Structure 1
Amino acid sequence: MTVTSALPTARAARVVAHRGASHEHPEHTLAAYRQAVADGADALECDVRLTADRRLVCVHDRRVERTSDGRGIVSELTYEELRALDFGAWKGAAHAGARVLLFEDLLQEALSAGRPVGLAVETKHPTRAGGRLEEELVRVLRRHGLADGRGGLVEVMSFSRGALTRMHRLAPGLPAVYLMERRLRPVRPPYATHAGPGIELVRRDPGLVGRLKAKGLSVRVWTVDEPEDVELCLDLGVDTLITNRPRAVREQVEAR
């Protein structure tokens, strides 16, 4: 694997790599995250689910068909069964052989980056794991001394108000991001300190960013890949851009 390097400089907005540098590499793979770090991403975004044997893995979909050569539901497969699948070949032969990534391995990768690299962790709901998903996430973070929000390295995200409430109960020091896809009327959910509208919402209603900020929420917008969307977000004062193309967005932010 060839990884090129880009060093971050002073910036007005944070750049978060959506499932890693997932435009170049298969999403949620070690290669994607290592490339994102090399590209100067401030933080790495991941989705987490529980396996049948309660291991925390980085997988977006409920099922594995889209991103692997296997079949089945993540929560019904053990970690070893997931490890046997190829999570890279769907992106092309050059990426074949990528394995499912444990959240704890991603955490270790971020901590060993040689500079501060954060994690933006989305707990996926609905899921049969229910609240056990947040419990396992906090358990792993606590083992690394990060469940209290120390250093601001970890933030949790969810479309589920219930999930954010559970996270606050389990780890009240962690910043919480309320993700928004279709809701146009900004509502501050319990315990959220950040709002995460999708770029389509922001395009349709640019004033949403200002209204969210007026409620005391910082704003993270996803998934911002196109140059015109980056410009729109920067013009509106968006705090964080979540993107599949961290290098290109990093360069555009720094050019401003």
Structure 2
Amino acid sequence: MDVVDGGHPFVVAHRGASAQRPEHTRAAYELALEQGADGLECDIRLTRDGQLVCVHDRRVDRTSDGAGLVSEMTLAELRALDFGSWHSGGDAARDTGVLTLAALIELTLDWGRPVKLFIETKHPVRAGALVETELLTLLERYGLAAPVSAGHSRVVAMSFSAAAMWRIRRAAPLLPTVLLGETSRYLGGSAAMTVGATAVGPSIGVLRGHPELVDKAAAAGRALYCWTVDERPDVDFCRDVGVAWIATNHPGRTREWLG
């Protein structure tokens, strides 16, 4: 992963420009790109017929007009649902159907400037390790699984599961990875080293309580990715302590705040 450029963190659109458009929809990601996001973040799950889709929750109830588990639905069934009208920005936005990871990859690669795609695999899931297997298969199809170096990679894999990150590291050693975590003890300990993560990812709450995580990560040759940073004092804090990547629901205004 890249180092901080000129003292300013890079801005990652968390599920797209999700404060203004329904999360994980093409409309949300297109707006984030238009607003100048340096990276796009997504969560992926496997459908019943083995397709990778960008959905955060195990169930579709919160973000669609349907109900049920993503893992028990086919892609065709998911495409029949409305993933936009629940959101205040859904009525005015187009392209708010379910988004496949393949479609998001193509959108990112076709954009007129380099943008990194941060892909989080969700665990525990019924599919288990198959999620990482299918992710790497898809990345290979687009020529993204074996970058010349971690710094030049267009994709970053992330998970709260150390086992998932170890699977990625073994199969695609040059693909950068972020070990996400809920506690400073976990992220500041040996877990990241054990799985070969190139970055660690605390929440803004954890980082506020333990800003030394930035220096600890840097001393081990790792970057720091912080989520979810939406308020100006938190954006300023991340810049001041040297965070490399900040995930935010407001990529446009966050870039403005960073100048």
Tell me the TM-score normalized by structure 1.
0.92
Structure 2: how far apart are the matches of 1:89 and 1:73?
20
1:113 maps to 111
The one-character-per-residue Cα deviations of 1:182-231 (angstroms, maximum 9, x if unpaired) are 34351242110101110010112222222222222110100011000001
1:165 maps to 166
1:31 maps to 27
What is the SS of the residue equivalent to 1:86?
A: coil
The one-character-per-residue Cα deviations of 1:69-104 (angstroms, maximum 9, x if unpaired) are 000000010000000000001103334872100000
Structure 2: how far apart are the matches of 1:223 and 1:77?
29
Paired letter, 1:187: G
Contact 1:177–1:193 at 8 Å: present in 2 too?
A: yes
2:83 maps to 87
Contact 1:47–1:121 at 8 Å: present in 2 too?
A: yes
Q: CA RMSD in A?
A: 1.6
Contact 1:51–1:76 at 8 Å: present in 2 too?
A: yes
Alpha-carbon offset, residue 22 of structure 1: 0.4
1:238 maps to 243
Contact 2:27–2:94 at 8 Å: present in 1 too?
A: no
Alpha-carbon offset, residue 128 of structure 1: 0.4
Alpha-carbon offset, residue 242 of structure 1: 0.8
Q: Which runs of 5+ in 2 are unaligned?
A: none
1:109-188 equivalences under 5 Å are 109-150=107-148, 151-185=152-186, 186-188=188-190
Alpha-carbon offset, residue 252 of structure 1: 1.4
Contact 1:149–1:175 at 8 Å: present in 2 too?
A: no
Alpha-carbon offset, residue 44 of structure 1: 0.5
Contact 1:184–1:208 at 8 Å: present in 2 too?
A: no
Equivalent of 1:218 in 208, 214, 223: 223
**Percent identical across equivalent pairs?**
50
Structure 1: how far apart are the matches of 2:155 and 2:7?
20
Alpha-carbon offset, residue 118 of structure 1: 1.1
Alpha-carbon offset, residue 149 of structure 1: 2.6
User: Relative to structure 1, is the Cα distance of residues 107 and 229 closer, same or farther in structure 2, using a 3 angstrom cutoff?
Assistant: same
User: Are positions 1:103 and 2:101 aligned together?
Assistant: yes
Contact 2:230–2:250 at 8 Å: present in 1 too?
A: yes
Contact 1:64–1:74 at 8 Å: present in 2 too?
A: yes
1:185-204 equivalences under 5 Å are 185=186, 186-188=188-190, 189=192, 190-204=195-209
Structure 1: how far apart are the matches of 2:26 and 2:230?
21
User: Are positions 1:78 and 2:79 aligned together?
Assistant: no
Alpha-carbon offset, residue 138 of structure 1: 0.5
User: Relative to structure 1, is the Cα distance of residues 116 and 11 closer, same or farther in structure 2, using a 3 angstrom cutoff?
Assistant: farther
1:45 maps to 41
Contact 1:219–1:240 at 8 Å: present in 2 too?
A: yes
What is the SS of the residue equivalent to 2:59?
A: coil
Structure 2: how far apart are the matches of 1:156 and 1:58?
14
Alpha-carbon offset, residue 171 of structure 1: 1.4
Structure 2: how far apart are the matches of 1:242 and 1:95?
22
2:8 maps to 12
Contact 2:229–2:247 at 8 Å: present in 1 too?
A: yes
What is the SS of the residue equivalent to 1:89?
A: coil
Tell me the TM-score normalized by structure 2.
0.91
2:59 maps to 63
Alpha-carbon offset, residue 64 of structure 1: 0.4
1:6 maps to none
What is the SS of the residue equivalent to 2:237?
A: helix
Structure 2: how far apart are the matches of 1:207 and 1:215?
13
